[in-house]
Structure 1
């Protein structure tokens, strides 16, 4: 099967969609499928050098909407070579351009929503939501309506998506997301990370890995960490990720105000073996997000056997709770503190059992192979129906 992924950027720092495309492309290629990627990135962007497949430039997107006037024309020329087009995400020009480009062609397109229809955004950013309403009826509504299917990673995401806009019509399918296993043994990965950050070798690490963004609850985590830091003088928080300079500065100021600045390490973006090494070196992974469609970093932690301390606003929290692979609480300072204290209260035997449960949860629910099998099943069933 020949598939084209379309997304606004392949930059790993942009978050989930770019990572999902990179991982699924590698898995699909291993199965013998021909995959290409189309983005609105600058053609010479450095992160395209390690792209997992050929990248078709659609033109550099301008502004937050990433408008690229030639994108639709270029997509229309390329599309007939593919069996299907998969659009990743909404609210930027790539989704509208894809729908426009494929009108009148026999090539179907599918849309991965990636949590971008979650009503949390409506409640938290009402002015942005109002702005979206201005072009929802003639843009994203039609993108979803005309897609062969709109793909959600969990049942929870599917149900929440129906609450954001009253004008909503889509054929809905669930395709759980997946994560590859760590690319080596835990001891080697851990050693590589600690070589890069030798001062952390004697510490008991709590890891946050993701965008430094208000949605992720980073401020909650810093405050909760300050509450429990005296429990063990070896406790150390690793904040791995990037964000807007103003947000990062605010968080670092908060750490100083909470008197924990010397016990927090800001690594910036971690990729490849360093990322996996951070998971292997950490006692627990923490993500107190206010909204998280799936949480790829959560499944990466599970794959590494690292217990996860997460909020109940992450759409796979029920699976984590049922599998006893971590602790779940509200997306508040008190909830995040409760998760940390529950974890700190575990003895060695219970900690090791939770590590085993984390690995089991990953193996039974969240592998990248399971994701691509389900995706291919959806695509194949549609081809059979429309043959």
Structure 2
């Protein structure tokens, strides 16, 4: 008998770094599976948030052993793509299993439909779209309508739901979702050596000389808690005049302009560096030269940026709304705060003023990342899930009836 590797298709609306960590993480998941011997393809659009990626449409583009198929995004809202639909209709039967990423977007609908129609098992990774904050604050009436008529059917048709934290699963279950589920964290890429990066970010920004750096590195979005961070930082400066706040990320221009206006109103103009969107070595250099990482989000299914910071040996101050906050607390890798200005300011000051605590959290953070978030550890869990599903498939007729 001739054996062939499992053939997996990841379907996701966008792989643009501008869409944040969850979109980028699919590359790590795919790369890890290829390294373990699977054949992995990714079907996505050319979405780049405000614009379009400069990619070839429809043909495979190979990257580290993974074939990426990009299709024209025809509407920014809902990231609709009719060419992607046609491709899925023709090719979904070529795969053993479909791994769908996101909800409340067109790609998951098309992928689930064609997988169900042809009896191909699929997994759904919601990417935090079912979290309480998003359901209540992002067009809630439309989301509730869509959830009842579309997303619930997609989830009911799935062989499993892939959550990235226990907190994400708990909040999804508040919606009455009882489908079989697993918790597999996001995977980080290969370890980044600090050698060659130390001092690079500071050298590019001499205004930071001699000042401890508190780093916020994420999308600039209302859910990220920047309305808490700015006044909390202002309170810090009243107690300790030394730290600088680096805000690294991009977002809606009107929202960013509003943040900068508020920072100036608080008298923080000379104490904040607006670094813009950082990726690759620029991002790792910023993490290497920083002293504390902060992410006071109102909602995160996981917290990719925090995990990357811990992998670089940074102590973190995060809100109790990040999916990984319990793990961070248990491993003493940082401080956990509610979404309150005073508590956030106190935690940042505590870490800044207590070098032994900061160093202890930093060491614990690195150990946590190496234990839980490596590509190898996550890939092992993911392949076990794929194998289990393909060994005990849910009957195609049941799956199709659940979706259609």
Please tell me the TM-score bracket, short chain as reference: over 0.9
Match of 1:143 in 2: 154
Match of 1:266 in 2: 274
Question: What is the deviation of 1:204?
Answer: 1.0
Local SS of the residue matching 1:80: helix
Q: 1:112 to 1:239 in 2, by over 3 A?
A: same
Local SS of the residue matching 1:262: coil
**1:176 matches 2:193:** no
Deviates more, 1:39-48 or 1:334-343: 39-48
Question: What is the deviation of 1:279?
Answer: 1.0
Do the aligned partners of 2:71 and 2:83 also contact (CA within 8 Å) in 1?
yes
Local SS of the residue matching 1:136: helix
**How many matched pairs?**
381
Question: What is the deviation of 1:137?
Answer: 3.0
**1:299 matches 2:307:** yes
Match of 1:31 in 2: 36
Match of 2:72 in 1: 59
**Whole-Å Cα distance in 2 between the matches of residues 20 and 189 of structure 1?**
23
- Where in structure 2 are there 5+ consecutive unaligned residues? 1-5, 395-404
Local SS of the residue matching 1:159: helix
Deviates more, 1:332-341 or 1:67-76: 67-76
Q: 1:87 to 1:159 in 2, by over 3 A?
A: same
Do the aligned partners of 2:43 and 2:84 also contact (CA within 8 Å) in 1?
no
* Equivalent residue runs for 1:93-132 within 5 Å: 93-125=106-138, 128-132=139-143
* Equivalent residue runs for 1:212-251 within 5 Å: 212-251=220-259
**1:371 matches 2:371:** no
TM-score (norm: length of structure 2): 0.89
**1:211 matches 2:222:** no
TM-score (norm: length of structure 1): 0.92
Cα root mean square deviation, aligned:
2.1
- Where in structure 1 are there 5+ consecutive unaligned residues? none
**1:319 matches 2:330:** no
Q: 1:61 to 1:88 in 2, by over 3 A?
A: farther
Do the aligned partners of 1:59 and 1:68 also contact (CA within 8 Å) in 2?
yes
Q: 1:153 to 1:77 in 2, by over 3 A?
A: same
Correspondence for 2:172 among 150, 161, 166: 161
Local SS of the residue matching 1:378: helix
Deviates more, 1:210-219 or 1:368-377: 368-377
Q: 1:334 to 1:85 in 2, by over 3 A?
A: same
Question: What is the deviation of 1:256?
Answer: 0.4
Question: What is the deviation of 1:28?
Answer: 2.1
Match of 1:6 in 2: 11
Do the aligned partners of 1:22 and 1:51 also contact (CA within 8 Å) in 2?
no
Deviates more, 1:288-297 or 1:351-360: 351-360
Higher relative contact order (CA 8 A, sep 6+): 2
**Whole-Å Cα distance in 1 between the matches of residues 344 and 363 of structure 2?**
23
Question: What is the deviation of 1:162?
Answer: 1.8
Q: 1:239 to 1:73 in 2, by over 3 A?
A: same
**Whole-Å Cα distance in 2 between the matches of residues 103 and 362 of structure 1?**
36
**1:20 matches 2:25:** yes
Question: What is the deviation of 1:111?
Answer: 0.6
